[in-house]
Amino acid sequence: MDYVKLFELVVAASLINNFVFTRFLGLCIFFGVSKKMETAVGMSITFTMVMVVSAAVSWIIYEYLMVPYDLTFLKIIIFIGVVAALVQASDTVMRKISPVLYYKLGVYLALIATNCIIIAVPLINSGEGYSFIESLFFGLGSGLGFSLALIIMASIREKLELANVPAPFQGMPLAFVTTGLIALAFTGFAGLITL
């Protein structure tokens, strides 16, 4: 197995092509839950988990059912179904097995069900023709990238709470400006790895 390729995939997905800062996906969740560090961390864990699992399941369905039967045009609908079903299942299981975790993360699960980042992972996987292991690592990298974005943003916004911000910039406007600046910084990763 080509470990270098896998490492490159993770770095590319998390830093160079960061979902939030370069692909501009999942922005509603990003702004919604980055107010507090605690929720940001909870959301990051949930997201990464769901991304990896949905990447695996949708890869199996795509490679073994959709490609042989020439049904690849259905992938958006099917992947949405896969993600929604997975999220619902993990919601049910989590409620039973770990109520504490459910109370921490349960509210975010419902938000994930129809999120564009989650659906982007299997779509990119199938589009790029990644192998099973590569898909898993791409999902992991994307999840880590989103976590990184959320945690950076949450720590900045927690500090901004204490700052004396002019009234027109309070809340969302300043969050947008901050995101733009971080996105600018993330372009610095652009030439890091050439695949």
Residues of this chain that interact with other proteins (CB under 8 A) are 61, 65-66, 69-74, 77-78, 81-82, 85, 88-89, 92-93, 95-97, 99, 123, 126-129, 167
Give the CA distances from residue 71 to residues 62, 63, 65, 68, in Å, rounded to whole numbers and listed in that order. 9, 10, 8, 8
Shortest CB 89 distance to other proteins, Å: 5
CB closer to other proteins out of 30 and 79: 79
Shortest CB 71 distance to other proteins, Å: 6
Q: What tokens were used for 113?
A: 């069900």
Write the CB contacts of 114 (distance below 8 Å, at least 6 apart in sequence). Answer: 80, 84
Task: Report which of 46, 56, 4, 11 is spatially closest to residue 26, judged by C-alpha positions.
Answer: 46
CB closer to other proteins out of 11 and 43: 43
d(CA 7, CA 180): 27
Shortest CB 70 distance to other proteins, Å: 8
CB closer to other proteins out of 138 and 186: 138
CB closer to other proteins out of 65 and 181: 65
Within 13 A of 79's CA, how many CA atoms are on the CB side?
Answer: 29
Question: 75, 63 in Cβ contact below 8 A?
Answer: no
Shortest CB 30 distance to other proteins, Å: 23
CB closer to other proteins out of 71 and 185: 71
Shortest CB 68 distance to other proteins, Å: 11
